[in-house]
Amino acid sequence: HTITRPRPIPSPLRFSKFFQSNLRILVTGGAGFIGSHLVDKLMENEKNEVIVVDNYFTGSKDNLKKWFGHPRFELIRHDVTETLLVEVDQIYHLACPASPIFYKYNPVKTIKTNVIGTLNMLGLAKRVGARILLTSTSEVYGDPLEHPQKEEYWGNVNPIGVRSCYDEGKRVAETLMFDYHRQHGLEIRIARIFNTYGPRMNIDDGRVVSNFIAQAIRGEPLTVQAPGTQTRSFCYVSDMVDGLIRLMEGDNTGPINIGNPGEFTMTELAETVKELINPAVPIKNVENTPDDPRQRKPNITKAKELLGWEPKITLREGLPFMEEDFRQRLGVPKQHVT
C-alpha cells in the first residue's frame, strides 16, 4: 500500500517572498575554513540574509568578525546534533570536522554530527521547504581502485577503520539526502569536495598544506608521511566556494565532484612549498597513519558540463596567498625567513 505524505508546509518566510525577494540562507559550520569564505561570498549579495550555526569545535568566531553587527548577518552557537528551529530558504550544510586529527579525536561525535546532524538539517529543510546542499567528500571513494574518481564510482572504504567515522558518516549523510529527496520530495544538492586549501585554515589542524606552510615559515622540517608517493589534488578555496554556489543555484542534485584535477605526490608538494616559501628547510620522512588513501584526483567532467565550473587557481598561484595569511597569524614577516 502507499502512504500519502503531506507536502512540506511553506514557512511564513515563503509567503513573505511575495513582498520581498530576500533569500534567507543557513550555513552550518559557517565559522570554519570553507564555511567562512562561503559566508563572505554570500554576504556580497545584498539580497541575501545569512544565518551561521556553529559549535566552534574546529571553527572560530574570528573567521566571521567582519560581519558582526551587520543587519543581514546572524551567528548562533549551536550543535547540529540538536534540533534547530529557524525559517530559511536555503541550507548549506557544512558542519563537520574535516581534518583527520580532529575527526579522529572524538570519532563517536564525528559520526553523530554526520548522521544526526544531517538528519536534523533534512528535517528542518522538510519543515520549511528549503533547498539543502551537503558538503560530502572525496573520502566517500575511500582508497580508490578507480583513478581519477568519477561520481559513478562506489568507492573502497574500510567500514571499521579509524577514518570510517568520517568516510562512512558522509556516505550515510548522502544516503539520508537521497532518501529525503525520494520520499519527501526535498530539493537536495550534494558536492563531493576534494582537498581544499587557502587562508584561514587552522594553523595546527594537521592537514598537509597547512602543516607544510606552517613548518616552512617556522623553519622546521617538512614532514612527508610515508611513502610520499601518495597523491592528492588541491583546490583553492575561492574556486571551491564558486563551485558550491553554482551547485546550489543550478538544477542538478549531484553528487558532483568539486576539486582541482592537478595531482601531486606529497613529496612534490613538499618540494613546491620548500621552493616557494623557504628553500632552507629540510624534508623529513615520517610514519603515516592507517588507511591513508594512496591516490586521489577528481574527474570534473560533470562540474564542467552541468555547472559550467572549473578551478581557475593553480597550486603555485594559491600557495602564496595562504603563506601571506599564515605569516600574519604566526607573526613572521617574509623578510625574516631563517
Catalytic site residues? 166
Q: Which of residues 119-148 bind ligand NAD (CB under 6 A)?
A: 135, 137
Nearer CB in complex with ligand NAD: 33/67:
33
The residues, ordered by sequence, that sit 6+ positions from 196 with a Cβ below 8 Å of its Cβ are 33, 34, 234, 235, 236, 237, 240, 259
Q: Determine the size of the site formed for ligand UDP (CB under 6 A).
A: 22
Q: Residue 95, interface with ligand NAD (CB under 6 A)?
A: yes
Do the strands 131-137 and 90-93 form a parallel or antiparallel pair, or are they unpaired? Answer: parallel
- 255 vs 87, 135, 145, 192, 252, CA distance in Å? 26, 10, 19, 6, 8
Nearer CB in complex with ligand NAD: 128/258:
258
126 binds, among ligand UDP, ligand NAD, none (CB under 5 to 8 A by kind): ligand UDP
Interface residue with ligand UDP, options 189, 232, 274, 297 (CB under 6 A): 232
Distance CA 134, CA 130 (A): 13
Q: Residue 120, interface with ligand UDP (CB under 6 A)?
A: yes
The residues, ordered by sequence, that sit 6+ positions from 45 with a Cβ below 8 Å of its Cβ are none
Nearer CB in complex with ligand NAD: 5/77:
77
Residue that has been written with the C-alpha cell 571553527 in this structure = 59
Interface residue with ligand NAD, options 26, 43, 75, 96 (CB under 6 A): 96
Q: Residue 130, interface with ligand UDP (CB under 6 A)?
A: no
Q: Residue 33, interface with ligand NAD (CB under 6 A)?
A: yes
Q: Residue 158, interface with ligand UDP (CB under 6 A)?
A: no
- Minimal distance in Å, beta carbon 120 to ligand UDP? 4
Q: Which of residues 273-292 bind ligand UDP (CB under 6 A)?
A: 288, 292
Interface residue with ligand UDP, options 225, 252, 253, 301 (CB under 6 A): 225
292 binds, among ligand UDP, ligand NAD, none (CB under 5 to 8 A by kind): ligand UDP
Q: Residue 83, interface with ligand UDP (CB under 6 A)?
A: yes
Q: Residue 31, interface with ligand NAD (CB under 6 A)?
A: yes
Return the exposure string of 229-267: e unless at least 16 CB atoms fall within 10 Å of the residue's CB, then b: ebbbbbbbbbbbbbbbbbbbeeeebbbbbbbbbebbbbb
Q: Which of residues 178-217 bind ligand NAD (CB under 6 A)?
A: 193, 195-196
Q: Which of residues 42-71 bind ligand NAD (CB under 6 A)?
A: 54-59
> By the criterion CB under 6 A, which residues form the site for ligand NAD?
28-29, 31-35, 54-59, 79-81, 94-98, 113, 117, 135, 137, 193, 195-196
